[in-house]
Structure 1
Amino acid sequence: MLKSISLFSGGGGLDCGLEAVGFESRFCTDIDFHSCETLKQMKNASLKGEKGGLKNAYILQKNIVDLSIEEIIQQSRLKVGEIDLLTGGPPCQSFSVFGRRQGLNDPRGQLVWEYLRILRGLRPKVFLFENVPGLLSIDNGLVFKNFLDAVQEPFNGYSYNVTKYVVDAAHYGVPQFRTRVLIIGVLNNSGLEFPSENIPFVTHDDPKSTKVAEKLLLPFNTVKDALVGLPTIEDNVLIKNHVGRKHGSDIKERYANLVFGERDPKTRINRLHPQRPSYTIIVGSDKGGGKGHVHPYLPREVTPRESARMQSFPDWWGFSGTSRHPIRQIGNAVPPILAAAIGSFICENIFKQKPLDRHTIWKKLGQEHLLTTEDSKA
């Protein structure tokens, strides 16, 4: 089994998706307490034989600035050069078009160099770096160029062959528009070849597209598809994080009068269109403010679990904390379905392993409701 280590693990979207395609997470770390509690809860569930993940992962809450190579090696039970995949996406708010775009002037922007420090120290065979597309344009592209140059520069006789991709999660079956930049690097002299193919062939497209009409691709999964089978808030007794905010009568009235896709002028969130993928889930500032969008049928904001559905997290993947903590973990995450698609691409094209079929992967990720709706569309 391929061994992986994740930095900036957050609520575990990348690890969740990668484990579904055959990677074994051996070490996960994040500075956020509730994110690490989420990961620990999933590990404990796994150890009890319940649905979860990260069974063999050591989970550490720590600022990456204080994280040493020796500590990762010791706790992951792996040696330098034995790690198959290093993953992670430093906090993206400094580079996001939704943020102030301060880039390296923001302390969080400096964390890309901490990723590089650990990459050089661990010397994994492959690395996956994920971030927002704003990383490509901040400071006229200088931040991104400097990072790529540093990654590819020989260090102690080693270097990486690197390619970048820009992907939208909706094209891989995630019921949410979410664009991300991916950098995949393969260690030179590792015996692994860099794939000549592009990032995984997309599986979904706009229902009006020619490829969907010709049955070459499936139509996007939608908000309606994401919510299939989810009980109402009032009926929920088992599903974690399915608790809504309390709204006053004035807010309910405003939300009720919004048409699909319309933005509320005061809360500045949109009413979701049931026949389209969700808008990108965002998390607000470091002080809070993270919230979902307006429910397509009800005059309220979606619950964290409904947002998690649109991120393609399984219902059994519970998030630690109350109020803003779960939504921040969900909004910061890589959708597990997207992570699985990338992981499957890496397994097949770099490690030359036979990939699992998409239906098997999605069932592992608890996405049977999406498979059912796709079967009805086919």
Structure 2
Amino acid sequence: MSAPVVELSDEQKDDLQMLAYRRIIEAYKQIAVAGGSHAHSCLLAHLGVELPLELDPWKLLQRHIMSDYLNHNGHELILRVLYRLYGEAEEERDFFSSTTATSTYDVFLLTVAETLRDSFPASGKTLSRLLSEVPYLPKSALKLLEHLCSPGNSGKVEEFQSGDRITQGLSTVWNLILLRPPIRDSCLKIAVQSVVHQLEEVRMKAIRLIANKLYPMSSIAQQIEDFAKEMLLLVTNIVDSTDVMNAEVSTTEPEKDLNLERQLSENSLACSAAKDITSDNQQTYTSQNMSSSLLHEAQRCMSFYFALCTKKHSLLRQIFVIYKSASKTVKHAIHHQIPILVRTVGSSPVLLEIISDPPNGSENLLMQVS
């Protein structure tokens, strides 16, 4: 006598599959007691890939993981899921399967990373550890790090609230630079964007990290140094160009402001100063306000170079070289920072050599040194 066969509709089959998947998830306590946690994690990752995409099993699994991240072995389970999805994408059995697995991987990782960021204190290493051990980091994950390191770029007010989050982001970037050479350039770009951020707190944290932790690394030291030099020369040229424009227009001319942040994010530091000055039809500035704004911009963009000078004294000479052609605003900014720099480097042979044989036109700057 054969068992009765019940024909199920597609919807009923989907419901049955999800019910079974849910029961497997909810049985984690009994399975853990029996010593089957490893098999349980593997099964959940495998079934998640095999179930129809429209059932969205990953959302159910995410809720399970984040409801008790530590007791549910969240880190290990997330890695199993991501490696399973990564393997599915790399198999390239067909374009649709590969694309679907890649998309699911990106969404799953980003959702989990955002939840970890919001659920755990900034001092914790949970997020950093996860991003260091996943198969690869998609652009969405790097964008998340960029927002942590440079709050405000996405326009969210709440991003300005915690300096600890900035430290968390920069520490994670540092960790990734050390552990994941293939994305070292992308992570370094995120870090250097922060050293010219509008917020002083962000700049100072980023400058300390790069000058103390990253600049000593020979593999990326030259890139860091080149960026600092380029910013030093760029801000000099931009302020000079702005001074010329201010002499040619009336005081009712719309505001001209520097747009260095956009320039950094688009890797166009070599663009002309005219492209970095954009019109704002809603405000006008007096000459005093303009001068104050330009001074702030000059200090913002030169601080990083001055910090590197404390680590490599030979960089000092470049400051004296550009002094002659610098505008009054830039010279003012240099005068403000050079005494602090000189006290930091002390009786450096490089500094003594500059004093004994100063570059042409830097005599006034030498007065600030002595």
Q: TM-score range by the shorter chain?
A: under 0.3
Q: Whose Rg is larger?
A: 2
Structure number having the greater helix percentage: 2
Q: What TM-score comes out, normalization by structure 1 length? A: 0.22
Structure number having the greater strand percentage: 1
Q: What TM-score comes out, normalization by structure 2 length? A: 0.23
